[in-house]
Amino acid sequence: MKRKTFVRGLALPLLAAGGLFAAGTGLVYAQAPVELQFYYPVAVGGPIAKTIDGFAAGFMKENPGVKVSPIYAGTYQETIVKALTAHKSGTPPVTSVLLSTDMFTLIDEEAIVPFDDFVKTAEDKAWLGGFYKAFMMNSQTGGKTWGIPFQRSTVVMYWNKELFKEAGLDPNKPPATWAELKDAATKLTRKDASGKVTQWGVQIPSSGFPYWLFQTLTTPNDAILANEAGTAVKFDDPKVIEALQYWVDLGKAGIHPPGVVEWGTTPKDFFEKKAAIIYTTTGNLTNIKANAKFDFGVGMIPGNKRKGSPTGGGNFYIFKKSTPAQQDAAFKFVKWITQPERAAQWSMDTGYVAVSPAAYETDTLRKYGRDFPAALVARDQLPVSVAEFSTHDNQRVTKALNDGLQAALTGSKTPAQAMQDAQREADRILRASK
């Protein structure tokens, strides 16, 4: 009895809905909003989900025909795993924020479409040309634009002004060259009575993705690790080996911690005054600002032959296996969310670098920059920044480089040997991409 009632209760509305649907198919179809699934990863702290939801709601208000559903998908790695598995099963998100370095992988999997096909009006063209060149290096290949910069970062140097004063250094004059860095780090290294180091002069993390931090040494030494097409690498270039030698020598000189330095605990080492100078992402700015109980400075990466640092972070991509209507809506959304005002807000909420010069011209960011000049260092470094290392079969080639770097840093191989081995491995992997 009860079950019957239940079944009837269930069946009635279903039938009714079916009837309605049959009667008004044309009408319903015309008004059905375009569904826009959007995956995003979170790699920094802060109430990011709230900001994203706010953006989605704002966009839907202005575009009633589109329904944006933002889906938090975990770390960058988890997000690409989810997006690519969904692509392989035929139902990818319409758009997703993924690492800029995933571009070649996504192209090889034929998972994404270039943005060029959607750029039609002069206004569209102006928008596409409005981003920092340094961010577009990882977003374009073969004359096409595959990604739109969104949550981008770069590596900068943080230094503890108090420790600088104690060591007799000018707290407002950070080291600007390799020689100055080594000199300052030597003065900043402290040992206790037994000879044990209690405070390291400089610390460059090397766990997980050492290649990215390594680029803060290769770029100043005027070496670019991969070609623009992502088909060849130059690990055994003497300038690259020299850069690695410099890193290894910092450790040998006893002014940089030995072995592989953990990325995750590096900011904490800085708070605890165990490291006087650290290299880390601009994404850590908000964290360090909140937790450092001393006056600190943020500066550009010291140069050698030139200045420079790699960019990093995520781009928007549009997936191929979605309907043209969805792709159009996604393009509109990406264009909307990267407008200067919103890029400025995103930068303030997260600590990421705003993606266009126009964003820094907004009143919000101007005021923020006046109150907190450290936030502008990343922007000032952008003119000399280079693309984050990326090739076809990216993660495999990257691993070859990472293994080599860690082998050299832990002393199991010489820098030259490590880079030659990595080169051989990378050449083998990239054979198929040429």
Partner 1 sequence: MRQGTTAGSSTAREAAHAWLLLLPALVLLVAFTHWPAVSTLVDSFYSTPKGSRAGVWVGLENYQVMVGDPVFWKAVRNNLWFAGATIPMSIALALVMALWVNERIAGRAFLRMAYFTPTVLPMIAVANIWLFFYTPQYGLLEQITGALGLPSHNWLGSPATALGAVTLVAIWKEAGFFMIFYLAALQSLNPSLREAAAIEGASRWYFFRRVQWPLLMPTTLFVLVNAFINAFRMVDHLFVLTRGGPDNASILLLYHLYEVGFSFWDTAYASAITVVLVVVLAGIALFQFFVLDRKVHYK
- Asked if 262 interacts with partner 1 (CB under 8 A), we say yes
Applying CB under 8 A, which part among 2-10, 143-151, 192-200, 239-247 lies near partner 1? 192-200
Smallest distance, Å, CB 208 to partner 1?
5
210-218 and 394-409 helices, crossing angle to 10°: 70
- Asked if 403 interacts with partner 1 (CB under 8 A), we say yes
Contacting partner 1 (CB under 8 A), which of 69, 91, 227, 412? 412
> How does strand 34-40 pair with strand 66-72?
parallel
The sign of the torsion formed by the CA atoms of 87, 90, 93, 95 equals positive
Contacting partner 1 (CB under 8 A), which of 5, 89, 121, 194? 194
Contacting partner 1 (CB under 8 A), which of 35, 53, 108, 124? 108
Who's near 120: CB < 8 A, 6+ residues apart?
none
- Asked if 407 interacts with partner 1 (CB under 8 A), we say yes
Smallest distance, Å, CB 397 to partner 1?
10
CA distances from 347 to 38, 68, 341, 397 (A): 20, 21, 10, 31
Task: Give the other-Cβ count within 10 Å of 321's Cβ.
Answer: 18
Contacting partner 1 (CB under 8 A), which of 176, 232, 260, 292? 260
> How does strand 34-40 pair with strand 95-99?
parallel
Contacting partner 1 (CB under 8 A), which of 129, 259, 357, 373? 259
Of 203, 153, 198, 93, the residue nearest 315 (C-alpha): 153
Smallest distance, Å, CB 352 to partner 1?
23
Question: Which residue type does 179 have?
Answer: A
Region of residue 316 (left: phi > 0; alpha: psi -120 to 50; beta: else) = beta
- Asked if 258 interacts with partner 1 (CB under 8 A), we say yes
Who's near 295: CB < 8 A, 6+ residues apart?
160, 161, 162, 171
User: Of residues 238-257, which lie at the interface with partner 1 (CB under 8 A)?
Assistant: 257
- Asked if 208 interacts with partner 1 (CB under 8 A), we say yes
Question: Which residue type does 150 have?
Answer: F
Smallest distance, Å, CB 11 to partner 1?
25
* 3-state SS class at 328: helix
Radius of gyration of the chain (CA): 25
d(CA 170, CA 158): 15
* 3-state SS class at 146: coil
- Asked if 110 interacts with partner 1 (CB under 8 A), we say yes
Applying CB under 8 A, which part among 19-27, 261-269, 289-297, 332-340 lies near partner 1? 261-269
- Asked if 402 interacts with partner 1 (CB under 8 A), we say yes
- Asked if 105 interacts with partner 1 (CB under 8 A), we say yes
Contacting partner 1 (CB under 8 A), which of 140, 177, 364, 395? 395
What is the per-residue binding string for partner 1 in 350-389, x denoting contact by CB under 8 A?
----------------------------------------
Q: Give 197 or 376: the residue with its C-beta nearer to partner 1.
A: 197
Task: Give the other-Cβ count within 10 Å of 348's Cβ.
Answer: 20
User: Of residues 34-53, which lie at the interface with partner 1 (CB under 8 A)?
Assistant: none
- Asked if 406 interacts with partner 1 (CB under 8 A), we say yes
d(CA 167, CA 287): 25
> How does strand 148-160 pair with strand 296-299?
antiparallel
Applying CB under 8 A, which part among 24-32, 107-115, 235-243, 306-314 lies near partner 1? 107-115
Smallest distance, Å, CB 113 to partner 1?
13
Query: What are the backbone angles phi and psi of residue 220, rounded to the nearest 5°?
Result: -60, -25
User: Of residues 58-97, which lie at the interface with partner 1 (CB under 8 A)?
Assistant: 77, 81, 84
| Contact set with partner 1 (CB under 8 A) | 77, 81, 84, 105, 108-111, 194, 196-198, 206-208, 257-262, 264-265, 268-269, 272, 274, 393, 395-396, 399, 402-404, 406-407, 409-410, 412
